[in-house]
Structure 1
Amino acid sequence: MFLLATSVHAQLGFCGGNSGDPIFTEDFGSGTTDGPALPAGTTTYNFTTGTPSDGDYTISSTTNYFDWLSLQDHTPGDSNGKAFIVNASFTAGEFYQRQVTGLCENTTYEFSSWLINLQPAGSCEGNSIPVNVRFQIWDETDTNLLAQGDTGSIPGTGTIQWNQYALVFKTEPAQTSVILKMRNNSNGGCGNDLAIDDILFRSCGDNVTVATAANEARSVVCEDQGGVSKTLTATPDSSVFNSHAYQWQQSTDQQTWVDITGENSAILNTPSVTTTTYFRTKITEDIINVNNDLCNVVSDVFDITVVPIPPAPSTNGNVEICEGDLGLLSVNTPSAYSVNWYDAPTGGNLILSDNQNLETGISGTYYAEANSVETDCASTTRTAVTLTVYPLPIVPDDSIAFLCEDSFITIDAEVENTTYQWSTGETSQMINVTEAGEYEVVVTNINGCSAVRTITVDQIDLPIIDKIVSDGPSIVVTTSNHGNFEYSLDGISFQPNNVFEAVEGGFYTIYVQDNTDCGVVMQAFYHLVIQKFFTPNGDTVNDLFEPDGLEVFNTVTISIFDRYGKLLKFGNTNSTSWDGTFKGERLPEDDYWYLIDADSVQFKGHFSLKR
């Protein structure tokens, strides 16, 4: 099977199997000076050290000519690497040939080369001539064409992406050299400007896999397993070779390979290895050519990677946290190793795998073990990391305190032998506050663990007496604010009811206080008992309208009117009652009005006469 450059160029293709080491390379050198010119007979084009015109070529580390793409050569790692730069002749034809010697007869080879169109997209007013190269392999007599293939048209794209093209051929009996030729399929002019680099020849053979009976393509073991050996089988796909000869090799760096004496079959029992070792086999159709690197190919590489036992992780230290927090235990180990956490120095239970950090809030000692990321190869010891969890200070529940208006209160964290940080900025156990609100205190113990207590301070306002009124024989006290108020007529005995019933008329001092003993307010009040009605029916019960309490005044006058304002009664200090008559006549049931002037105080209102 060949990998094709593109589907329309089926004659070009890569070796579908394994290849040998390169037997011929041409990278055209490096340096900032153009040249040297190719050997005589290599090309009919003219060599120049300046800008190549049509039919010219140069060997240069720059492609910065005309409006061409400016790019580096293809060879990896080159400094000022050079490439073969061609400005195609006006006439299509051959522009490069060279002989490749030292080949083996009856052997399949792969020729390859990297190529790029130097014209940017849209050049030559969109009419740029595309690059189109034919690769040919001729026998050494230059009479027998062994293989050829065309790249097809490669338009200018404006990218600096080199593309590789390959051609597979087979030498004939007694043939040990070939002639490589490159031809332009297009005429020169505006376009058809190209660069070529890294021409390579190498043998091509079967695709040869190497695996164990378990179909392992590689093996990774821990060095504590001691000497390791594997039984390997090379399996060619017979896509190129009709028969197979082998020579197994081993290497410690994949650069220098050493033949393993006597190992010339498809199966290899590897030597016992204690360090990483690589194995492959050279393979040809004929045993005579197996050690000729111009003729053989090499299989896939099977590596036995011996992983060293990792050192135990290094700790970042023990961790201390407070109850309720999470502690982050951490260790360090090179990136080639993972970390597993256990609950015991040996054996025990796996807590967390493949993580250098362990987050937990449970106190105890945890053990970190390093392990290879490639295979089970653990450190011989585990690193202990201890998490200490300190308790929080025990604080009382949040509480409510009461502050008397225009006073202060002392609030207490109620925790001793700690430090304190109040929301007010104070740092003592107890503080005085003069305003209502929420006060937080952060209590911190000697281990640096903190708890918060909140004390809500509510202000108790002094009562504000709104009004005091007489309601018949009752005194009713109304406040303009609310609270758990108590009321008293003597300042000694207090009641929760704001109504004093059956009180004789007279002067009184009204006392109002909050039941939390936050202070008392007082107000003088004259209680005049005015009947709401009287019944002058001669039964001696409530027969007279007679206000109670006027005796405390020096001068009293009383006037009684009907609803029309007619004066029915006028009396003074010695005559303040009324029997419900006018000029000896009994008046009907109705509402009547009074006006009382007592010293400098005036009282007025109405009452009912009922028969």
Structure 2
Amino acid sequence: MKTYTTFSLLLFLFFSLISTQILFGQLGFCGGNSGDPIFTETFGTGTDRGPALPTGITSYFYTTGVPADGDYTISSNTNFYDWHNTTDHTPGDTNGKSFIVNAHFTAGEFYRRTVSGLCENTSYEFSSWLINLQSPNGFCENGGLPINVRFQIWDSTDTTLLASGDTGNVMSQATPVWEQYGLVFRTVPGQTSVILKMINNGNGGCGNDLGIDDIVFKSCGDFISVRNDTNESSITSCEDLGAISTTLTATPDFSIFNTHAYQWQESNDAINWTDIVGATNPTYTTPLINTTTYFRAKVSEDAINISNNLCNVVSETFSLHIIPIPIAPVSNGDISNCQGEASGLSVSVPDGVSVNWYDAPIGGNLIQPNSTFFQTETAGNYYAEAISELGACISPTRTLVTAIFHPLPVLNNESLTFCEDENINLSADITNANYLWSTGETTLNISANTPGTYSVVVTNTNGCSNEKTITLEQIDRPILKSIRSDGPSIIIQTENIGDFEYALNFGAYQTSPIFDAVLGGSYIITIRERNFCGEINEPYIHLVIPKFFTPNGDGFYDTFRPEGIPNNIPYSLSIYDRYGTLILNSRDSLFGWDGFFNGRKLPASDYWYTIIVENNMYKGHFSLKR
């Protein structure tokens, strides 16, 4: 059993505490401003695999095929196993590649890279993007093993750990997601290079498959804001207001640097920067500016490093935008539409310019903001004004665009009637136009003889169309069903119903089909439709046959005598008793029966008759009353 002195135990606890704090440090990013990247690894582009990483960077085996556990490849896709098939992370590249790793069965280091050219006593930010390639719907149980990577920054002797942090378990996700991780570290005096290590904290197996891309090192310094003397972070001014100048102040937050050296820079594109000679103070007053210009300050802790971009950082950018006055919008043409149709007026402007619509060339009312398109159903002149999205600079003039609305053909729907078996003329009403009837005809007028609904689309010379509807109803001609006599009345019945009227012997018409108190005789019965849609003239012999007679000698109804049999028309009349015995028969003579048979009075009773006139038979009965 070993024994420790008190001093040895204290040393052990001290270094254990330091080691624990370092090994279990937190990931994080620079809280201030960063400089331009001093090291970048994107793993290249192309559709072919590889090339393999240089010797010493990884102990994993390189393959151009499917990477097994402990293998890696460099590829522009991840179409392996049941993994997500996704692209690399680097923005804007084509067929960009990434570092594809299938974790070894034994946890441990899988990437090591020396980064040189650093400045001593300077803070830096390391960052990298990682992705879990395993799909949760794949073959692996519970979505597979998570990925878990430790990043370490060591000094160039590989004996002093400068920073360390773990990603923790990164589980598989339904869609592939690249995530960024970072570390902040500081070089010590005399140190100009460091070693980056990536360690797999988990063993390989089903899962723990990852992609790595965009490894970047940047200097890290204070957060440095830039404001002008009115506390603005940018200025936007219209060109017609003339050149402007402002005084800028760079203000560090002292989160990293204890002292500060400055070098102001300017740019016309915010990409390429030029040092401003003599501008080395925290404040800088610009000259008069009449074109868009950007300003920033390079800042380092020591003046000797101000010109070394590996050691300095850059402030926020102050933009001084001088916005050109936009030209008036370009009209896409006046619009000529039909009444009731919305007109879409439009103009064209360059990118970065919007359009406001007015009802007057100067002043007037704003009727449509922020659109190159204006829709209206009202004829008139409309005016489009260009306005820059930056600075709200207004075009010196407005562009006239006119909307014209042509009237539609004026059509009136109709409801018409026509007589059965006749044609009726249907008209679209308007000449000098194009026509399309629901029947397929294309003429101004068409002929119809079938009831129903007809329509016609009329298109005038301006190309404007309207529709007319005609409802057509047929009027049927009268069809005679029967004419019969009921005592002195004549009753007419038709097969159909209509607006019919009736007349006897071409006399006055009546709407009732019953004629009362008509003397017996020959008549012409006329039935006509009141709209002149058909007429029937039917000859009829009206026989008025008494319903009873009283042969008592008082001079009233003493004989049974039918009325109305024409003298010149053959006829016969027979009378029977209730037992069918023929009592008398008369032919072609003026007949009247007095109630006697073979010289004796017949008793009061009902008797039957049969009358034949021109092959028409009339039957009935009457009463003899005593």
Q: TM-score range by the shorter chain?
A: 0.7 to 0.9
Residue 547 of structure 1 deviates from its aligned partner by: 0.6
CA contact (8 A) 2:132 2:171 kept: yes
The structure 2 residue matched to 1:506, chosen from 521, 539, 548, is: 521
The letter for the 1-side match of 2:485 is: S
Work out the CA distance in 1 between the residues paired with 2:603 and 2:102. 144
Determine the structure 2 residue equivalent to 1:608: 623
Determine the structure 2 residue equivalent to 1:320: 336
Is residue 512 of structure 2 the alignment partner of residue 497 of structure 1?
Answer: yes
Aligned 1:451-462 pairs, distance under 5 A: 451-462=466-477
Work out the CA distance in 1 between the residues paired with 2:496 and 2:442. 36
CA separation of 1:280 and 1:519: change in aligned 2, threshold 3 A: same
CA contact (8 A) 2:147 2:202 kept: no
CA contact (8 A) 2:75 2:100 kept: no
Work out the CA distance in 2 between the residues paired with 1:446 and 1:29. 66
> TM-score with structure 2 length normalisation?
0.77
Determine the structure 2 residue equivalent to 1:353: 369
CA contact (8 A) 2:105 2:205 kept: no
Deviates more, 1:476-485 or 1:365-374: 365-374
The structure 1 residue matched to 2:455, chosen from 416, 428, 440, is: 440
Is residue 182 of structure 2 the alignment partner of residue 137 of structure 1?
Answer: no
Work out the CA distance in 1 between the residues paired with 2:58 and 2:449. 108
Is residue 350 of structure 2 the alignment partner of residue 363 of structure 1?
Answer: no
Aligned 1:399-438 pairs, distance under 5 A: 399-438=414-453
The structure 2 residue matched to 1:545, chosen from 560, 579, 596, is: 560
CA offsets 1:357-403 (integer angstroms, 9 cap, x no match): 222221111122233334412332222221222223344x3334443
Residue 355 of structure 1 deviates from its aligned partner by: 2.5
Determine the structure 1 residue equivalent to 2:238: 222
CA offsets 1:42-68 (integer angstroms, 9 cap, x no match): 7797999999x99x999977999x999
Q: Alignment partner of 1:224: what SS?
A: helix
Work out the CA distance in 2 between the residues paired with 1:344 and 1:571. 107
Determine the structure 2 residue equivalent to 1:398: 413
Determine the structure 1 residue equivalent to 2:594: 579
Aligned 1:283-322 pairs, distance under 5 A: 283-322=299-338
CA separation of 1:497 and 1:175: change in aligned 2, threshold 3 A: same
The structure 2 residue matched to 1:476, chosen from 465, 487, 491, is: 491
Work out the CA distance in 2 between the residues paired with 1:552 and 1:486. 30
Deviates more, 1:541-550 or 1:260-269: 260-269
Work out the CA distance in 2 between the residues paired with 1:540 and 1:495. 36
Work out the CA distance in 2 between the residues paired with 1:400 and 1:63. 74
Aligned 1:193-342 pairs, distance under 5 A: 200-211=216-227, 216-342=232-358
CA separation of 1:492 and 1:558: change in aligned 2, threshold 3 A: closer
| Aligned residue pair count | 595
Q: Alignment partner of 1:470: what SS?
A: strand
CA offsets 1:125-170 (integer angstroms, 9 cap, x no match): x9999775562433x6776x36231436778969987765433233
CA contact (8 A) 1:137 1:178 kept: no
Is residue 534 of structure 2 the alignment partner of residue 515 of structure 1?
Answer: no
Q: Alignment partner of 1:477: what SS?
A: strand
CA separation of 1:57 and 1:580: change in aligned 2, threshold 3 A: closer
Aligned 1:173-212 pairs, distance under 5 A: 174-180=189-195, 182=197, 200-211=216-227
> TM-score with structure 1 length normalisation?
0.79
CA separation of 1:67 and 1:468: change in aligned 2, threshold 3 A: closer
CA separation of 1:199 and 1:597: change in aligned 2, threshold 3 A: closer
Deviates more, 1:127-136 or 1:541-550: 127-136
Q: Alignment partner of 1:377: what SS?
A: coil
CA separation of 1:184 and 1:503: change in aligned 2, threshold 3 A: closer
Is residue 405 of structure 2 the alignment partner of residue 389 of structure 1?
Answer: yes
Residue 529 of structure 1 deviates from its aligned partner by: 0.9
Residue 185 of structure 1 deviates from its aligned partner by: 7.8
Work out the CA distance in 2 between the residues paired with 1:175 and 1:608. 153
CA contact (8 A) 1:37 1:59 kept: no
The letter for the 2-side match of 1:321 is: N
Determine the structure 2 residue equivalent to 1:147: 162
The letter for the 1-side match of 2:152 is: F
Residue 239 of structure 1 deviates from its aligned partner by: 2.2
Is residue 395 of structure 2 the alignment partner of residue 379 of structure 1?
Answer: yes
Q: Alignment partner of 2:555: what SS?
A: coil
Determine the structure 1 residue equivalent to 2:8: none
CA separation of 1:129 and 1:446: change in aligned 2, threshold 3 A: closer
Provide structure 1 residue ranges, at least 5 long, that are not aligned to the other structure: 1-7
Work out the CA distance in 1 between the residues paired with 2:425 and 2:33. 92
Work out the CA distance in 1 between the residues paired with 2:443 and 2:226. 80
Is residue 502 of structure 2 the alignment partner of residue 487 of structure 1?
Answer: yes
CA contact (8 A) 1:17 1:207 kept: yes
Work out the CA distance in 1 between the residues paired with 2:146 and 2:422. 102
The letter for the 2-side match of 1:227 is: A
Residue 466 of structure 1 deviates from its aligned partner by: 0.8
CA contact (8 A) 1:581 1:587 kept: no
CA offsets 1:82-112 (integer angstroms, 9 cap, x no match): 969999898968984747345143x322344
Residue 605 of structure 1 deviates from its aligned partner by: 0.3
Residue 277 of structure 1 deviates from its aligned partner by: 1.9
Residue 252 of structure 1 deviates from its aligned partner by: 1.2
Work out the CA distance in 1 between the residues paired with 2:103 and 2:454. 89
RMSD of Structure 2 on Structure 1 (CA): 4.8
CA offsets 1:515-542 (integer angstroms, 9 cap, x no match): 2334422222221111233344544233
Determine the structure 1 residue equivalent to 2:609: 594
CA separation of 1:306 and 1:474: change in aligned 2, threshold 3 A: same
Work out the CA distance in 1 between the residues paired with 2:600 and 2:205. 147
Deviates more, 1:126-135 or 1:491-500: 126-135
The letter for the 1-side match of 2:323 is: V
The letter for the 1-side match of 2:499 is: N
CA contact (8 A) 2:27 2:167 kept: no
Residue 546 of structure 1 deviates from its aligned partner by: 1.3
Work out the CA distance in 1 between the residues paired with 2:335 and 2:591. 94
CA contact (8 A) 1:411 1:433 kept: yes
Residue 419 of structure 1 deviates from its aligned partner by: 4.7
Determine the structure 2 residue equivalent to 1:467: 482
Work out the CA distance in 1 between the residues paired with 2:95 and 2:590. 136
CA separation of 1:521 and 1:206: change in aligned 2, threshold 3 A: same
Determine the structure 2 residue equivalent to 1:4: none
CA contact (8 A) 1:62 1:72 kept: yes
Provide structure 2 residue ranges, at least 5 long, that are not aligned to the other structure: 1-22
Work out the CA distance in 2 between the residues paired with 1:102 and 1:291. 14
CA separation of 1:581 and 1:161: change in aligned 2, threshold 3 A: closer
CA contact (8 A) 1:315 1:383 kept: yes
Identity %: 44
CA contact (8 A) 1:37 1:47 kept: no
Deviates more, 1:109-118 or 1:558-567: 109-118
CA contact (8 A) 1:316 1:332 kept: yes
Residue 354 of structure 1 deviates from its aligned partner by: 2.4
Residue 472 of structure 1 deviates from its aligned partner by: 1.2
CA contact (8 A) 1:514 1:520 kept: yes
Residue 548 of structure 1 deviates from its aligned partner by: 0.6
CA contact (8 A) 1:88 1:193 kept: no
